[in-house]
Homo-oligomer: A and B are copies of this chain.
Amino acid sequence: MSGSVTVVGLGPGDPSLLTESARHALDRATDLIGYFPYVARVPEREGLVRHASDNRVEVDRARHALALAASGRHVAVVSGGDPGVFAMAAAVFEAVEQGEPGWRNLAITVEPGITAMLAAAARLGAPLGGDFCAMSLSDNLKPWPVVTARLEAVLRADFVVSLYNPISKARPWQLGAALDLASSIRAPETPVMFARAISRPDEAIRVTTLSEAEASQADMATIVILGSSGTRLIPREGKAPFVYTLRSVPGAA
C-alpha cells in the first residue's frame, strides 16, 4: 500500500480561514509534520500521530514526511498561510528532486491557503489592488545584495511590495535597510502597513508612512506592506483608515 504527502496551508491562524479542502486533508491524515506552532493548531484526534518539530531545517522535515509516505503513511505537512509562499511546499519538492527515485511516484499534493499578505490586505482594505510583489527579506537563503537589487527594482517600477520574514533576532538590521532604500525611492508620505498575527488573538495592525515607519514596529509574526504611488488612505471617524491601491495608472487609453 502506498502512502501520500499533502502539504496543507493552515491560513493565517483563525480556523475559519482554512479551506474546506484543507480541513478534509487534515481529517484524512495519519501523520502530521510541521513546525510545532502549526502542528498545535490542528485538533487532537485518535490515530493521528504528531511529529511536531522545532527544527528550522525545512528540508529535513520534508524528507521525514516523504520517508513516512513511502512506508505507507498518509502524511499532512502543515504550514501557516499558503504552503507555496515562503513555506514548506518548495522544501518538499526540493527533497523529492534530491531524494530516492521512488519518492517521485508518491501521491504528493498541495492544499492552498490564505497567505499572510492576502489576510493582511483583507483587513486593511485593498492595498494589493494594483500590481504587487512578495519578497522574503531573509538573507539566510539568498545573498543580501540580491535582496536589495530585487527590492530596488520593484520599488522603482512602482509595485506594492509585501515583505515576508522582515526581522528576527538573527536578522535585526535588514528591515531598517529596506525601509531606508524605500525612502530613497518613494515619497515620504507613502503608506506603509505593519500587519501582525492577522486573525490570531494577538493581531495588531499599524498604518503609517514611509517617513514614520521604523523597523522596531515589526517582529517575526509581522508582514510589512510598502504602498505604491497609487496607494491611498480613506480616513474614518473613530476607526482605522481603509487602505487601498488604485486599480488604474494615469495615462491609460
Q: For A96, list chain B residues within 8 Å (CB).
A: 234, 242
Nearest Cβ distance between residue A131 and chain B, in whole angstroms? 5
CA distance A245 to B232 in the complex (A): 33
Question: 1/0 contact trace for A210-253 toward B, CB 8 Å?
Answer: 00000000000000000000001011110000101111110111
The main secondary structure of chain A at its interface with chain B is: mixed
Contact B20 A18 (CB under 8 A): yes
- Answer whether A249 and B142 are a contact pair too, CB < 8 Å, given A84-B121, A125-B110, A149-B157: yes
Contact B93 A234 (CB under 8 A): yes
Contact B131 A150 (CB under 8 A): yes
Q: For A118, list chain B residues within 8 Å (CB).
A: 82, 84-85, 112-113, 115
Q: How many copies does the complex hold?
A: 2
Contact of A142 among B11, B139, B251 (CB under 8 A): B251
Among A86, A91, A125, find the residue whose CB has the most chain B CB atoms closer than 10 A.
A125
Contact A154 B126 (CB under 8 A): no
Q: For A142, list chain B residues within 8 Å (CB).
A: 248-249, 251-252
Cross-chain pairs A/B with CB under 8 angstroms, 20 sampled: A11-B19, A17-B19, A17-B112, A84-B122, A85-B128, A90-B129, A90-B244, A93-B125, A93-B129, A94-B244, A110-B123, A112-B114, A131-B135, A133-B159, A140-B253, A142-B248, A143-B249, A146-B158, A146-B249, A150-B159
